[in-house]
Structure 1
Amino acid sequence: MAASYHARSNSLPSRQHPIASQIDDNLNRLRASQSASTSSSIGHNLNGLEDLHECVDVLLQFPLTQQALAQENQREMVEELLDGSLMLLDVCTTAKDALLQTKECTQELQSILRRRRGAEALANEFRKYLTSRKAMKKAICKALTNLKHIQNKFSTPGENGAVISILRDVEAVTISVLEPVLSFISGSEAESKSSRWSLVSKLMHQKKVMCEEEQKANEILSAEAAVRYCIKSKNMKHVENVQKELQSSELSIQDLEEGLETLSRRMIKTRVTVLNSISC
């Protein structure tokens, strides 16, 4: 976690100031890891993003930082940043809701599989799971569109003060971290890299040598692929494989849920600090 700096200063921190250096370091690390595609790497980036927002909150406590935000000539940019932060919080909420929905469906399906129901009944439950996933993907697609909209806003150049520039950089990096989160939940990125049934084949045929990274690249998509294969093959002997993939999926979901919840709280705190600065 980022170190805390409680002492206040009467001036904006220079680039040599520890908190300014930490912000730069966190920004650079997150920019360098934008290609995250596994649950572990995405979780790592969420933690890094939380650290970044913690540093920014410290920066916002400096009196001259607050004065800079309150300047009339910066008001339009501050309002734009606040609008962006609200949209990013909405995206976080969508991601959390999608994870919760997927987790609940995953847990329900695991419970049903443990009861050893008949093949036709299981096939129906598998279809219900896939229907739920399809509805969730529509919400994720809309959230990705909203992210692109925010991103386009930040691509517009303008004359900004030092504080505004930092906050714009932070929101831009936040977008770059959240986009892979949404893609991971929906499985869109993985599906674009590999045909669905090619992936299923790699998952289900145990005699074939598989790369560990491919197996674990996206636990949620792996569970979905296993379910699809059971339906397509009409062979319930693969139920144990489905159970295994569902368990892995649930674990990855829990990790992402925790990361998004912590990040959301940190983003809300930063937003409140900015609002307080301009309302003084």
Structure 2
Amino acid sequence: MDSFAGNSKRSFHIRSNSLPSKLHPVVDEVDEHLCRLKASEATSSSHSLCQKLGSLQDLQDCIDKLLLLPLTHQALVNNKSVDDLLEGSLKLLDLCVVAKDALSQMKELTHELKCVLRRRRGDDIARKVQKYLNSRKTIKKTIHKALKGMEKTSFQKSDESSEIVSLLKEAEAITYSSIESLLSFMAGQKFASKMSRWSLVSKLMQPKRVACKEEDENRNEVERMDVALSLITSHKSDFFVQVEDVQTSLKKLESSIHDLEEDLESLYRHLIKNRVSFLNILTC
């Protein structure tokens, strides 16, 4: 994942000069959307992810307009980079499908869990919690596999690339990066997170309550849910107190999944529309 992130960051700076402002207003509009997305902070919560997905939809709207321009047709026809753009657009759609499937599975799991928690039957809750955690492991593996596949993808501008093609490649790269953030959000904590020696010593020196509070604040909705359920299975605290905590986390997670599903589905439709526009240009 780190190598992909590095490639993505490099790709966001492939144009040393700004685009000629006289090309077309739409070109400037796309460039402005890209600048705002690149300047946005790293996403770690569902709210910030929804904002980024919304910004990506605005970007794809502008790209749709860009693809209708004659100057775009001229830039793409007989350009060697077009095949890369087509392949990249297909990879984006495949990645969206992975994210959509993961969200759909999590939505189903949270719904089942909520129904069981309402009945407050200890054995049923324990079984359903374990099913949720087992399914989460499968989802994580699928996401990690998809993220590893992303590491192999890089976006570099060749000397033959026009400014329009360069712009489209940047849009593709930042869309990849944003979907990567969404997948990382859904994966939650890594199976074995690495910690520097200093951060480990610092953590051990902190009072337990302070350390726990800081850890909880740094977790997203998915991670908090995983932790709350893990505490139930480990019997480290009062069962029904933990059930209350799970219900609170579950409510927030359900809301997050709903919002992310809507925004991702909208982005997916935009990406399909733009891929069709690419194909239409090449078949004209």
Measured at CA, do residues 273 and 231 of structure 1 come closer, stay the same or move farther in structure 2, by a change above 3 Å? same
Measured at CA, do residues 54 and 112 of structure 1 come closer, stay the same or move farther in structure 2, by a change above 3 Å? same
| Aligned 8 A contact 2:31 2:167 in 1 | no
Shift of 1:68: 2.1
| Aligned 8 A contact 1:110 1:246 in 2 | yes
Q: Distance in 1 between matches of 2:49 and 2:191?
A: 14
Shift of 1:34: 5.0
Gaps spanning 5+ residues in structure 1: where? 1-12, 195-204
1:162 and 2:163 aligned: yes
| Aligned 8 A contact 1:34 1:177 in 2 | no
Q: Distance in 1 between matches of 2:54 and 2:218?
A: 20
Find the counterpart in structure 1 of residue 12 from structure 2: none
| Aligned 8 A contact 2:34 2:59 in 1 | yes
Find the counterpart in structure 2 of residue 88 from structure 1: 92
Query: What does 1:96-115 align with in structure 2 at a 5 Å threshold?
Result: 96-115=100-119
Q: Distance in 1 between matches of 2:110 and 2:218?
A: 17
Report the identity percentage: 43
| Aligned 8 A contact 2:96 2:264 in 1 | yes
Q: Distance in 2 between matches of 1:207 and 1:84?
A: 45
Q: Distance in 2 between matches of 1:182 and 1:209?
A: 25
Measured at CA, do residues 116 and 51 of structure 1 come closer, stay the same or move farther in structure 2, by a change above 3 Å? same
Q: Which 10-residue stretch deviates more, 173-182 or 230-239?
A: 230-239
Given candidates 226, 229, 233, the residue that maps to 1:227 is 229
Q: Distance in 2 between matches of 1:114 and 1:165?
A: 54
Q: Distance in 1 between matches of 2:44 and 2:37?
A: 13
Shift of 1:230: 1.1
The RMSD of aligned alpha carbons is: 2.5
String of CA shifts for 1:20-75, please: whole Å, max 9, x gaps: 222111111111125111111111111111111110110111122113212x2x1x
Measured at CA, do residues 148 and 188 of structure 1 come closer, stay the same or move farther in structure 2, by a change above 3 Å? farther
| Aligned 8 A contact 1:87 1:146 in 2 | no
Task: State how many pairs are aligned.
Answer: 251
Find the counterpart in structure 1 of residue 273 from structure 2: 269
| Aligned 8 A contact 2:92 2:176 in 1 | yes
Find the counterpart in structure 1 of residue 183 from structure 2: 182
Q: Distance in 2 between matches of 1:250 and 1:145?
A: 27
Q: Distance in 2 between matches of 1:82 and 1:262?
A: 20
Shift of 1:224: 1.1
Find the counterpart in structure 2 of residue 64 from structure 1: 71
Given candidates 117, 125, 148, the residue that maps to 2:151 is 148
Q: Distance in 2 between matches of 1:189 and 1:163?
A: 38
Measured at CA, do residues 21 and 156 of structure 1 come closer, stay the same or move farther in structure 2, by a change above 3 Å? closer
Q: Distance in 1 between matches of 2:258 and 2:209?
A: 27
TM-score (structure 1 length as normaliser): 0.82
Q: Which 10-residue stretch deviates more, 34-43 or 133-142?
A: 34-43
Q: Distance in 1 between matches of 2:261 and 2:54?
A: 12
Q: Distance in 2 between matches of 1:135 and 1:158?
A: 43
Shift of 1:247: 1.0
Gaps spanning 5+ residues in structure 2: where? 1-18, 196-207
Find the counterpart in structure 2 of residue 78 from structure 1: 82
Query: What does 1:237-252 align with in structure 2 at a 5 Å threshold?
Result: 237=240, 238-252=242-256
Measured at CA, do residues 207 and 192 of structure 1 come closer, stay the same or move farther in structure 2, by a change above 3 Å? closer
Find the counterpart in structure 1 of residue 198 from structure 2: none
